[in-house]
């Protein structure tokens, strides 16, 4: 099978046709392609290239194409290569020869670059909304669980007494930074390539600024070569999604651990769990494991886009045809992961008895006892050594540091006596002592929740205003 290709080339081999066509992937850009074409019609009309009647005929024709696509009636033809030529061909069928005027002063190079920026902007905003949803869920659960204590871990070993809400707020802080990266990426990509043509612009007097404004862009891109040849806006967006994916994976990893019998800190709802095909007792945290898997795909998409452009000379190269699947997949995977994790966390049950029970083993107030000695004038390194010896003594007896007798504490140092020593060994007192900004004391965590909620709400209002 072969087809004529313009007036310059005769026919293409079947193998070339299979390599060349992209419509099965890029037809997803149909809405953006039509929006860009409508804006371009305005530019052509403003430049006097189209009459008002011709412009309206083209707009009406594109509206019909859009309705057909939405109704599933569009017959996508791989011989026509891509979404752009399929839509233009159907337009010509509807409106006749005037449809051939649409591509005046435009190349598929600036056309596809515009479509991609419109798509990336729209999907980026959708992902921001999903991220806002997850952030709100975490803030709600943190406020709800404000009085529940738990260990803080280093090296996955119990370290010091802390608060569940403080831990959840650490998740929230990561996501807040992810939000900022996404906003930056969306802001930077919001420029219009239309009018850049194939590589060196157009000789027609198109008002690029007006066309850009009609599409909601901040303005036209400054350089026609850069406008058609660069995809760093995709790399930036997808890289931001990859970092988000890593953060979601870290949260997922903790959910897997916390929902295990060994930890027992939380239980996922049935709606976000699966069972085993063989073992009837199983309740598996597949939602968290699948989120971890999505992170791998997001990282892979970033790598794909970077490698795709790394050896590209300035000027459009056809390998850029393959920049769409990484973008589409990344946006889908990020959105799905965010929504699933939000639902899982919102409907999960936290086991306060297990969380606080974990404070009873591991000598978690050892640092607080050393800090107490510091208040008595003992240098910290000496205090660290003294308390380390007490931990060793308690471990040899199979008891916790807090269970050592008054005589054993006094023998380690003359200052280790009285009610203040026992207070230093109390986990809840230890948590409340950590009342510095950013610490787990109840008042500080409540302040952090209020501050975060105000930041997220303001950011969401700004996003809505910007949209």
Which are the catalytic amino acids?
Answer: 155, 276
Contact 292, 239 (CB under 8 A): no
On the CB side of 92, CA atoms within 13 Å amount to 10
Give the start-end residues of each E strand in 88-221: 149-154, 157-163
Token pair, residue 244, equals 């988000």
Question: Which of 252, 257, 259 has its CA nearest to residue 298?
Answer: 252
SS3 at position 149: strand
- CA-CA distance, 178 to 241, in Å (whole number)? 8
Q: SS3 breakdown of the chain: % helix, strand, coil, rounded to 5?
A: 70, 5, 25
Contact 335, 127 (CB under 8 A): yes
Question: Which of 151, 163, 161, 165 has its CA nearest to residue 427?
Answer: 161
Q: How far is CA 443 from CA 143, 156, 163, 339, 364, in A?
A: 11, 27, 12, 30, 21
- CA-CA distance, 93 to 85, in Å (whole number)? 12
On the CB side of 266, CA atoms within 13 Å amount to 27
Residues of 31-46 as b/e, b for ≥16 C-beta within 10 angstroms? bbbbbbbbbbbbbbbe
Contact 127, 149 (CB under 8 A): no
């Amino acid at each position: 099978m072969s087809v004529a290709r313009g007036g310059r080339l005769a026919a293409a081999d079947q193998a070339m046709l299979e390599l060349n066509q992209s419509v099965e992937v890029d037809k997803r850009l149909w809405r953006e392609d039509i929006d860009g074409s409508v804006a371009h019609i305005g530019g052509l009309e403003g430049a006097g290239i189209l009459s008002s009647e011709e412009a309206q005929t083209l707009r009406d024709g594109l509206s019909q194409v859009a309705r057909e696509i939405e109704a599933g009636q569009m017959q996508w033809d791989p011989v026509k290569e891509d979404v752009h030529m399929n839509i233009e061909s159907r337009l010509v069928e509807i409106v006749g020869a005037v449809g051939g005027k649409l591509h005046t002063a435009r190349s598929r190079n600036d056309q596809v670059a515009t479509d991609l920026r419109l798509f990336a902007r729209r999907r980026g905003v959708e992902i921001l909304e999903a991220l806002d949803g997850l952030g709100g869920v975490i803030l709600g659960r943190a406020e709800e669980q404000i009085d529940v204590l738990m260990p803080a871990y280093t090296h996955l070993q119990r370290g010091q007494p802390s608060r569940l809400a403080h831990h959840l707020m650490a998740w929230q802080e990561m996501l807040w930074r992810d939000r900022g990266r996404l906003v930056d990426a969306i802001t930077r990509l919001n420029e219009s390539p239309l009018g850049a043509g194939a590589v060196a612009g157009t000789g027609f007097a198109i008002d690029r600024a007006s066309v850009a404004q009609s599409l909601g862009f901040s303005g036209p891109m400054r350089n026609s070569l850069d406008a058609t040849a660069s995809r760093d806006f995709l790399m930036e967006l997808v890289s931001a999604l990859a970092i988000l994916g890593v953060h979601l994976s870290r949260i997922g990893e903790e959910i897997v651990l916390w929902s295990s019998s060994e930890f027992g800190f939380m239980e996922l709802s049935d709606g976000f769990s699966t069972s085993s095909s063989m073992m009837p007792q199983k309740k598996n945290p597949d939602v968290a494991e699948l989120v971890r898997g999505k992170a791998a795909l997001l990282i892979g998409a970033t790598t794909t886009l970077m490698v795709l452009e790394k050896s590209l000379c300035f000027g459009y190269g056809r390998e850029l045809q393959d920049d769409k699947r990484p973008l589409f997949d990344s946006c889908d995977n990020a959105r799905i992961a965010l929504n699933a994790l939000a639902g899982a966390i919102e409907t999960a049950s936290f086991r306060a008895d297990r969380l606080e029970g974990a404070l009873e083993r591991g000598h978690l107030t050892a640092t607080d006892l050393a800090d107490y000695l510091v208040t008595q004038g003992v240098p910290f390194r000496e205090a660290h050594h003294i308390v380390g010896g007490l931990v060793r003594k308690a471990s040899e007896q199979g008891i916790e540091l807090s269970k050592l007798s008054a005589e054993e504490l006094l023998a380690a140092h003359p200052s280790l006596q009285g009610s203040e020593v026992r207070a230093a060994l109390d986990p809840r007192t230890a948590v409340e002592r950590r009342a510095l900004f950013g610490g787990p004391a109840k008042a500080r965590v409540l302040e952090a929740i209020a501050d975060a909620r105000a930041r997220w709400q303001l950011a969401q209002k700004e996003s809505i205003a910007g949209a």
